[in-house]
Amino acid sequence: MRKTRLISACLGSILSLLVTMLLVHSCGIYSFSGSSIDYTSVKTITINYFEYKALKVNPSLSNNLTEALRDQFRKQTRLEQVEMDGDLEIEGEITGYDVRATAVTANEVASQNRLTVTVKIKFTNRKDSSQDVEKSFSQYADYDSTNSLDAVESALCEEIVEKLCDDIFNATVAQW
């Protein structure tokens, strides 16, 4: 008898939790991807190509960042991506691409270097201008100085782009 009550109470709690999760998710208040988009009024997004304005040139970084950000929004939101005049719009530019020594040996030789990428974004919410954001983001990845930048650049940039996309997503639609 006691065991039956315990099982019944657990099932009731689980059912109650599932119903609450379903209601919260379907109302658009919260999504499990982490976004706080009101899908009743916001349907589209425009993610413009990120211009490259850093002094040191990486010819593929603008395209890689733009496409990775578009992909993240495709996977984590229900927004339709449009070429222009989306309800939400992200535009940006890569303003920094720098390599610096982060660890120096006793012989004053760099033992580790850091690649840092800085981007500046402008987020416009045409449905609620109080959510507009203009902000710069910086992310980095370290590598051993025995490697040349050319040898590790692609992998480092991939890691940095992923971090930047998370930062931009969180600052724009997750509002963290």
DSSP 53-75: --SS--TTHHHHHHHHHHHHHHH
**What is residue 64's predicted lDDT score, i.e. its pLDDT?**
98
Per-residue pLDDT of the chain (176 residues; tens, 9 = 90+): 655 665 665 555 565 555 555 444 444 444 444 567 888 899 999 999 999 999 999 999 999 999 999 999 999 999 999 999 999 999 999 999 999 988 777 676 778 999 999 999 999 999 999 999 999 999 999 999 889 999 999 999 999 999 999 999 999 998 65
The closest alpha carbon to 42, from 142, 129, 126, belongs to 126
CATH fold of the domain at 35-174: Double Stranded RNA Binding Domain (3.30.160)
Distance of alpha carbon 32 from alpha carbon 78, whole angstroms: 12
**What is residue 136's predicted lDDT score, i.e. its pLDDT?**
98
**What is residue 102's predicted lDDT score, i.e. its pLDDT?**
87
Which residues face 103 on adjacent strands? 112
Which residue carries 């315990």 as its tokens? 6
**What is residue 174's predicted lDDT score, i.e. its pLDDT?**
84
**What is residue 67's predicted lDDT score, i.e. its pLDDT?**
98
Distance of alpha carbon 66 from alpha carbon 120, whole angstroms: 13
Write down the domain spans for the chain.
1-30, 35-174
**What is residue 27's predicted lDDT score, i.e. its pLDDT?**
45
Check if the beta carbon of residue 35 is closer than 8 Å to that of residue 168.
Answer: no
**What is residue 151's predicted lDDT score, i.e. its pLDDT?**
95
**What is residue 31's predicted lDDT score, i.e. its pLDDT?**
44
Global pTM? Answer: 0.78
